[in-house]
Each structure stands twice: as C-alpha cells, then as structure tokens.
Amino acid sequence: MIVLGAVEIKKGVYWVGAIDWDIRHFHGPSYHTPKGTTYNAYLIIDEKVTLVDIVDADFVGVMLENIKEIIDPSKIEYVIVNHVEPDHSGGFPKLMEYAPNAKVFCSKNGKDAMGHHYFGDYSYEVVKTGDVISLGKNTIRFIEAPMLHWPDSMFSYIEEESLLLPNDAFGQHLASSKIFDDENDLWEIMMEGKKYFANILMPFSPLIIKKIEEIVNMGLKIDMIAPSHGMIWRSHPEKIIEKYMEWARAEGERKAVIVYDTMWNSTEKMARAILDGLVSEGVATRLYRVSISDVNDIITDVLDAKAVLVASSTINNTMIPNMAYFLEELMGLKPKNKLGASFGSYGWGKGAVANIEKKLKETGIQLVKEGLQIKYVPTEEDLKMCYDYGKEIGKLI
Ligand code: FEO
C-alpha cells in the first residue's frame, strides 16, 4: 500500500483516498482494470469536520493516515455515505472506531443497505434531494441519484465551492499519483471514463439523462467534479457531463463493431469480407475475435456504434462458448438504439446463428438482415455474398 498523502482540492477540502495500483479485476472478474483504480474520499475541515465517502476495507489504514495529516479522525462529526458498495464503504466500521458518535448521512436506500452490511449501532440521518446541511462555512446539498450506481446512490454538492461529489458517476478506473485531470493525459482519462460508462452505467442511461437534466435545471454552478474513482475533473468538468449525455442518448456514430469467433477460419473469412463491405460504405468498423479480446474493450466500442454484428462457427449446435459470455455481458448492459445481424459457418448442423439472433433480440438489438450462414468453407462467390451483406448493412447505418 502506498500513501499519497492528503491533497487540498478546494479551500478546506482534502482528498484523503487511496490508490489501488494492483487491482486487475473489479466487480469479481467482469471488469478488467489494467491501470488499477483509486478509492477517493474527501475530508472537509469546517466547524463540523466531515468525511464524504470512505474507501475499500483493505485501504482504510491509508485513508486514516491521510486524514491524520490534517486532523485527528476522532474530530470527524459527520460522515456522508453517498454509496454503500464496499469499495466506498468497506472502511466504515474501522473509521467509526475513531469517531463512534459521528452522524452518518445517507439516502433512505442507503440506510437500508448500510444495515445489511454493517451491524453496529450507528447514528444514521436519512436525507433526500433538496436537503441541505450546514457545516459552518460550507453548505452541503444532497441529490439522490438512484442506480448511479446502486439504488442508494446520491451526490453531495458543496455550494460555496461549486464542488460536486457524485461518487461513482463520472469516475474512471485509473490509478495515478496525480489526482487532477489536467495533471494527466486527458484523452486517456476520457477513454477510461467511457469504458466505465459502457461497462457499468450503460443500463441506466435513461436515468442518467434525467439526472443530468435535473441538475442543469437546478442551476448548480459546477467548478469541479470529484468522483470516487480516478481523476478529479477540474480543468473542464462540463466536458465529462457532455460526454455522459452523448453516451446515454446512444444516438450512435456511423460505426459498426463485428464480434466473432472461428474454429477453422471460415467464419473469420466471412467476417473480413463483411468488414470490407461495411468499409466500402464509409462505415468506421472495428473487428474483434472475442476469444483473444478484452470484452470490456469491445463493450466500450459498442457504446457509440450504430451496429453490432455477431458471428460464430457452429459447435455442438450452438455458438463457441466464449461468444456466449460476451452476449451475456451485452444483454445485461442493455445497449440502446443498436442495429444487429449474425452470421457464421457450419458443418453438418446449424445452431450458432439462430442462438446468437435469439440473444441479440433479447438484448433489444434490432436485427436488420436475416442471418448469413455458409457451409464449411466459403467459396469466392460466398465471400462476394458476404461483402454485399456488409455493404447492405452499411447502407442502413
Ligand atoms: Fe465504485 Fe458502485 O461502486
């Protein structure tokens, strides 16, 4: 564990979180984090010393060391739990050993979830959208944000500093010794933000649109967004808000993603010919062989694509199993406004394309062409048919 030390991000507001350089899988195995992550917690020094969010249990010692650089943790009177998932609340019991009388602010669902995670006798105060508390010089306004990322989630907004603390929203799984966006590569941060949105928040896109519109209508001035993972947006916080709206609306670019797997390369030949057809229509196209690709990267590309083409050779009357994993992920993430199609080779029995089409339909993807199936090895004529298949889909995008 490495202690970065407390960092003042606004007057009297300190980052006191922890960097997890080593984590490579988040949410169990489903989210790959090759660049690690951070658990951001924020300490506000005021008449009421307040901690906003905590950290994962394994890192609570680091957080406490950071707090001790600024103040004795026993002086904390308010703890705000914006989100109960253990990466943000795991250190709660240890923290409360230092400040057993602290008042704990959370949403109604947050109180329920806290009760199911931590069994001590704590002093909870339930807050809802519009509630404000005074810390002395600073005022905190609460905004419930259910499903960003759990039903309990909420944002805290420090009015005097125009600082939004939205927990998971606008976060990225990215570890760095520098905590501000402008101290890092902005493009890299935005890409990690996109991956985070695609792989965690995509199912909640309609709620995200409503929540952002609600915040805009509140007329809140936002100078800085300090999420609970990754870098703090201080150079252009509006840019990540604009991107969230764009991703959530899922209008899609003239872009297609082909995801395939292949046994003896016949389906691969089909995929490459279909890719050529799409490209001939000016469609930006990405090709992924699922068994050698990172599913999170594929999903990230699906986020702003208009079409998803999924292909597999048939084995045992169905698709190659790696494809089933990808499709299960995709179905859970509920991508909106996507066109789709399926294709693949077969030998003596079919099955892959029909099962893929079934999954795509269950995902809500609109099938725009009948599945294309070729027996054993594609001929030159078959490959021309594949090219035309891609071209026809390209015209629809
Ligand atoms: Fe970063 Fe939903 O927890």
149 in the same domain as 224: yes
- The rounded Å distance from CA 149 to ligand 1 centre is 6
CB distance 229 to ligand 1 below 6 Å: yes
Domain boundary among 209, 224, 249: 249
Domain boundary among 227, 249, 271: 249
175 in the same domain as 125: yes
152 in the same domain as 212: yes
Checking if the pLDDT of 367 tops 70, the result is: yes
CB distance 87 to ligand 1 below 6 Å: yes
List pLDDT tens digits, range 109-161: 999 999 999 998 999 999 999 999 999 999 999 999 999 999 999 999 999 99
- Asked whether residue 1 is domain-assigned, the answer is no
- What is the predicted pLDDT for the residue at 158? 98
103 in the same domain as 19: yes
Mean pLDDT of 304-312: 98
List pLDDT tens digits, range 22-56: 999 998 778 999 999 999 999 999 999 999 999 99
Please count the structural domains in the chain: 2
How far from each other are the two terminal CA atoms of the chain, in whole angstroms? 49
Which tokens in the block code for residue 9?
């991000």
The residues facing 233 across adjacent strands are: 225
238 in the same domain as 301: no
- What is the predicted pLDDT for the residue at 2? 47
Banded model confidence at residue 1, pLDDT cuts 50, 70, 90: very low
Q: 271-290 as b/e, with b when 16 or more CB fall inside 10 Å?
A: bbbbbebbbebebbbbbbbb
CA dihedral for 351, 352, 358, 359, sign (positive or negative): positive
31 is catalytic: no
Mean pLDDT of 80-97: 98
330 in the same domain as 192: no
- What is the predicted pLDDT for the residue at 236? 86
Cβ-Cβ contacts under 8 Å for 389 (sequence gap 6 or more) = 274, 277, 341, 343, 369, 372
Contact 204, 148 (CB under 8 A): yes
Domain boundary among 224, 249, 274: 249
Number of residues assigned to the chain: 397
CA–CA gap between residue 240 and residue 45 (Å, rounded): 28
CA dihedral for 58, 166, 65, 111, sign (positive or negative): negative
Identify the domain containing residue 13 by its residue range.
Answer: 7-249
- The rounded Å distance from CA 36 to ligand 1 centre is 14
281 in the same domain as 390: yes
The Cα diameter of the chain in Å comes to: 78
- What is the predicted pLDDT for the residue at 3? 54
- Asked whether residue 378 is domain-assigned, the answer is yes
Kind and range of the H or E element at 232? none
Contact 76, 99 (CB under 8 A): yes
Q: What is the CATH number of the domain that holds 60?
A: 3.60.15.10
131 in the same domain as 229: yes
Q: Which amino acid is at 318?
A: T
- Ligand 1, atom 3, lies closest to the CA of 85
Residue of 114, 171, 120, 169 whose CA lies nearest to 144:
169
Give the start-end residues of each E strand in 45-162.
49-52, 76-80, 103-106, 123-126, 132-134, 139-144, 154-158
Contact 52, 25 (CB under 8 A): no
283 in the same domain as 221: no
CA dihedral for 279, 281, 285, 291, sign (positive or negative): negative
245 in the same domain as 227: yes
CA–CA gap between residue 88 and residue 107 (Å, rounded): 15
